[in-house]
């Protein structure tokens, strides 16, 4: 029997810059989040470094003096990985690689690496690969540092330039192919979602690790993967459940949002995030235990605006309320967000109040009608099946008795059809 020794984790140093509107406290919290991302990616954080500047240094981001100081720290502590909390430009990466002689990652590159390891379905893998290639294209010189004796320098001229341009063409070709594949996937998703018009649809959104999957499982009695880990969910998952007798809702879970989420990733995950855009209700899940939950709310709302989903019916759900012992904190949240619901998805606290709110929205959203139509109006009857859920139909000698359920928008269309025919 052969026993394989576990691969040792890479040792990482995390670096953030405090400048502009960010306070030291905010940057420290960003570094804590970066540490969680690093752990999710499978590396150990050895040091966290924060540098204060008026603006990023164009050549070394943190300034050459600070970079040289960190280079010594890296050498003394056998660190293999250097991760920056903000995106770096190709010049900064090249200069830092020459100085550190170590692998350099920025926040976007780290998030993309995590997404790549968590992608399971064809759709998710396609979306992540597209985002990675779009991220890599302007930074391609990094891939050719092996042409020099050590980490840097050559690869910007001569034969290296030719090879890089060849690689760029290959990447652009691959990007075009992936975009075509995503269009086909989006078309398939549109066909699937067309069958959901007869149901009220809700989508769970929130900052990553807020407890969306746990809430989905609690509401629908499902067993969707729910881990205390960033980006445990990448693909949208939809489950149906009955709010009350005859009142069924479709509930979808989505990828968690995070600050500084790479723009290419948001664009690539458009097909997955279409469930947000197409939903009737947005259920915004917030981790009330997090010290910066208001910042998380802002990030999610900005992303919803980018997805053109800000004007939906929005239910704000503060999760993990069972972990809060300070009553003043709960009172403050209720004062700032008077229409919110406090729940614990893990323990089932206040879930029935959330269901009652969804029932109220359901009853406002759908209209149930009984009508009689002459049998000769087959066109209207056929259209009725397109616009509504026909629950009963009985053909008499000269007319048809029909009961149907439709959303308020389609109800107006049905009324116009009947008025035009009469």
The structural domains of the chain, with segments of one domain joined by +, span 10-118, 121-194, 195-363, 375-421
Q: Quick one: which of 364, 175, 164 has its CA closest to 280?
A: 364
Strand order in the sheet with 399-407: 366-374, 399-407, 389-395
pTM for this model (two decimals): 0.75
Confidence (pLDDT) at 354: 93
Could you give the count of Cα atoms lying within 13 Å of 89 in the half-sphere of its Cβ? 8
Rounded Cα gap, residues 49 and 395, in angstroms: 77
Q: Does residue 101 sit in helix, strand or coil?
A: coil
The pLDDT score that the predictor gives to residue 230 is 60
Helices 122-136 and 107-118 sit at what angle, rounded to 10 degrees?
A: 160
Low-confidence ranges of the chain (pLDDT < 50): 142-160
Is residue 50 within a helix (H) or strand (E), and if so which, with residue range? Answer: strand 43-52
Q: What is the pLDDT of residue 228?
A: 58
| 85 close to 17: Cβ distance less than 8 angstroms | yes
What is the C-alpha separation between 17 and 27, in angstroms, rounded? 7
Q: Who contacts 76 (Cβ-Cβ below 8 Å, separation ≥6)? A: none
CA torsion angle for 255, 261, 263, 269 (degrees, to 10)? -10
For 205, the token pair is 């959104």
Q: What are phi and psi of 162, to 5 degrees?
A: -60, -45
* Cα–Cα dist 232/226, whole Å: 7
- At 152 the pLDDT is 39
The superfamily in CATH containing domain 10-118 is GTPase HflX, N-terminal domain (3.40.50.11060)
Please say whether the beta carbons of 230 and 114 come within 8 A: yes
**Residue 225 C-beta-side C-alpha neighbours within 13 Å:** 14
Query: What sign does the CA torsion over 192, 194, 195, 196 have?
Result: positive
Long-range CB pairs of 338-343 (<8 Å, 24+ gap) are 340/316, 341/315, 341/316, 341/317, 342/288, 342/318, 343/215, 343/317, 343/318, 343/319
Whole-number Å distance between alpha carbons of 61 and 333: 38
- CATH number for region 195-363: 3.40.50.300
3 state DSSP class of 270: helix
Please state whether 179 falls in left (phi above 0), alpha (psi between -120 and 50) or beta: alpha
The pLDDT score that the predictor gives to residue 26 is: 87
- pLDDT value, residue 272: 65
Pairwise CA distance, residues 103 & 93, whole Å:
10
For residues 268 and 275, is the Cβ–Cβ distance under 8 A?
no
So what's the pLDDT on residue 392?
A: 87
pLDDT, residue 69, reads: 94
Give the other-Cβ count within 10 Å of 101's Cβ: 14
Decide whether 10-118 matches 195-363 in CATH topology. Answer: yes
Contacts of 236 (CB under 8 A, 6+ apart): 203, 252, 253, 254, 255, 272, 273, 275
Q: Please give the radius of gyration of the chain, using alpha carbons only, rounded to the nearest integer.
A: 27
């Amino acid at each position: 029997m052969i026993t394989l020794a576990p691969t040792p984790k890479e040792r990482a140093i995390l670096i953030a810059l405090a400048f502009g509107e960010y306070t030291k406290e905010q940057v420290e919290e960003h570094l804590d989040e970066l540490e969680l991302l690093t752990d999710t990616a499978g590396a150990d954080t050895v040091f966290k470094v924060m540098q204060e500047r008026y603006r990023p240094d164009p050549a070394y981001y943190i300034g050459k003096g600070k970079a040289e100081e960190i280079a010594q720290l890296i050498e003394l502590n056998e660190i293999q990985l250097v991760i920056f909390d903000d995106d770096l430009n190709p010049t900064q990466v090249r200069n830092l690689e020459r100085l550190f002689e170590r692998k350099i990652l920025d926040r976007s590159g780290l998030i993309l690496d995590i997404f790549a390891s968590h992608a399971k379905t064809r759709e998710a893998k396609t979306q992540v690969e597209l985002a990675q290639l779009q991220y890599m294209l302007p930074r391609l010189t990094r891939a050719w540092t092996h042409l020099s004796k050590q980490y840097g320098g050559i690869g910007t001229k001569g034969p290296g330039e030719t090879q890089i341009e060849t690689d760029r063409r290959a990447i652009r070709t691959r990007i075009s192919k992936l975009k075509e594949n995503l269009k086909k996937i989006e078309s398939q998703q549109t066909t699937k979602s067309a069958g959901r018009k007869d149901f009220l649809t809700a989508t769970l959104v929130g900052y990553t690790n807020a407890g969306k999957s746990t809430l989905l499982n609690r509401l629908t009695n499902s067993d969707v993967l729910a881990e205390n880990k960033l980006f445990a969910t990448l693909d949208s998952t939809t489950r149906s459940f009955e709010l009350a007798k005859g009142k069924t809702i479709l509930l979808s879970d989505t990828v968690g949002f995070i600050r500084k989420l790479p723009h290419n990733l948001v664009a690539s995950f458009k097909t997955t995030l279409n469930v947000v855009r197409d939903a009737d209700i947005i259920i915004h899940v917030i981790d009330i235990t997090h010290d910066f939950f208001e910042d998380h709310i802002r990030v999610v709302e900005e992303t919803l605006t980018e997805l053109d989903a800000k004007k939906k019916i929005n239910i704000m759900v503060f999760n993990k309320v069972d972990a809060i012992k300070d009553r003043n904190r709960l009172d403050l949240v209720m004062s700032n967000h008077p229409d919110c619901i406090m729940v614990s998805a893990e323990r089932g606290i206040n879930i029935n109040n959330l269901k009652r709110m969804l029932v109220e929205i359901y009853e406002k959203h759908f209209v149930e009608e009984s009508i009689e139509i002459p049998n000769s109006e087959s066109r209207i009857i056929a259209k009725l099946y397109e616009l509504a859920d026909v629950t009963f139909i009985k053909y008499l000698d000269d007319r048809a008795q029909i009961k149907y359920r439709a959303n308020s928008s389609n109800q107006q269309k049905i009324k116009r059809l009947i008025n035009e025919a009469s």
